Amino acid sequence: MIVAIDGPAASGKGTLARRLAERLGLPHLDTGLLYRATARMLMDHGQNLADVRAAVAAARGLSLTDFNAKILRGRDMGEAASIVAAIPEVRQALIDLQRDFATRPGGAVLDGRDIGTVICPQAQVKIFVTATPETRASRRALELKGQGETVDYLAILEEIRRRDARDASRATAPLRAAADSVELDTTDLDIEAAFNRALAIVQAQMQSAPHSLSN
Ligand code: DC
C-alpha cells in the first residue's frame, strides 16, 4: 500500500506521515528532505541555488543514508529548498529515487507536495493536509520557541505565505491536491485528533478497496 500525504509548509503532514508509517509498519520518506539536502549541498559548496547544472548534480548525488535531518529541517533551509524545487530538472533527477522508495514490497508512506499528483498517482491512499497560514505560523513559532529560538510570528507568517505561493505557482509539479485525494483540514485539530482522522481515512480506503492494497 502506498500512502501519499501532501500539503503546504508546516501543515503537520510530516508528523502525520511519520505516525501513520509507524502505525502501519511501513517505511516513511519525507521528500522535502531531498530538496533541502540538494539546497544544502549547493550552499556548502558556495554555489548559487539557481545554478541548474550544479543543482542537478547535487540532486543526483544524494544518498538517503547521509542526511542530517536536524540541520536540514532548520528554518532557513525551507526557503532554499523551495527555490531549488522549482527547477524542473532537479525534480526530474529526484523522481526515480522517490518511486523506488514508494514501490518497495509492502508499500511506503511518502509526504511532500506532489506525491499524489506526480510521484505516485497510483497511491491507494491520498491525503491532502491543510491548515490556515495563521495556524501554521503559530505552530511553527511554538516549535521554534521550544527549541530556544527568538521568534517573530509575523516574519514566520510571511515566510509561510511566500513559500506557499512559490510552491503552488511553479510550472512543474506545483503544490495542489490530487483530484482523488481526501482533504484533511487540521486548523482546529490537535495532533492526536488529526492523526485519528488520517488513520480513519486510511482504514476507510482499506475497507473499500482491500485488493488494491497488497502492493
Ligand atoms: O516539506 P518541506 O517543508 O520540508 O519542503 C521544503 C520545500 O521543498 C518546499 O517548500 C517545496 C519543496 N518540496 C517539493 O517541491 N516537493 C516535495 N515533494 C517536497 C518538498
* CB-based contact 145:206 (threshold 8 Å): no
Note the pLDDT tens digit of each residue in 85-98.
999 999 999 999 99
Residue identified by cell 501543515 is: 11
Mutate to test the pocket of ligand 1, among 73, 167, 175 (most ligand atoms within 8 A of CB): 167
The CA distance from 94 to 139, in Å, is 29
E runs forming strands in the chain: 2-6, 28-30, 108-112, 125-130, 182-185
In the DSSP assignment, the letter for residue 92 is: H
**pLDDT bucket at 212, cuts 50 / 70 / 90:** low
Q: Tell me the pTM.
A: 0.94
- At 8, list the grid cell: 503546504
Residues flanking ligand 1, CB < 6 Å: 9, 31-32, 35-36, 78, 81-82, 85, 112-114, 163, 167
- Give the residue whose CA is nearest to atom 5 of ligand 1: 32
Q: Beta 28-30 vs 182-185: how paired, if at all?
A: unpaired
C-alpha 152 chain-centroid distance: 24
Of residues 111, 39, 31, the one with CA closest to residue 64? 31
Tens of pLDDT, residues 71-129: 898 888 999 999 999 999 999 999 999 999 999 999 999 999 999 999 999 999 999 99
